Amino acid sequence: MTIFIAADHLGVEVKKELIKYLQKNNINVKEIGIPNQELDDYPDFAFKLGRLVNETENALGILICGNGVGMSIAANKVKGIRCVRATSVDDAFKGKNHNGANVIAIGSSLGMALTKEIIDTFISTKSASLDRYVNRINKIIKYENGEYNEL
Q: Which residues are catalytically annotated? A: 65, 98
The Cα–Cα gap between 46 and 106 comes to 12
Q: Is 51 helix (H, G, I), strand (E, B) or coil?
A: helix
CA-based nearest residue to 2, from 68, 52, 65: 52
Are β-strands 83-85 and 103-107 bridged in parallel, bridged antiparallel, or unpaired? parallel
Q: Are 92 and 122 in contact (CB under 8 A)?
A: yes
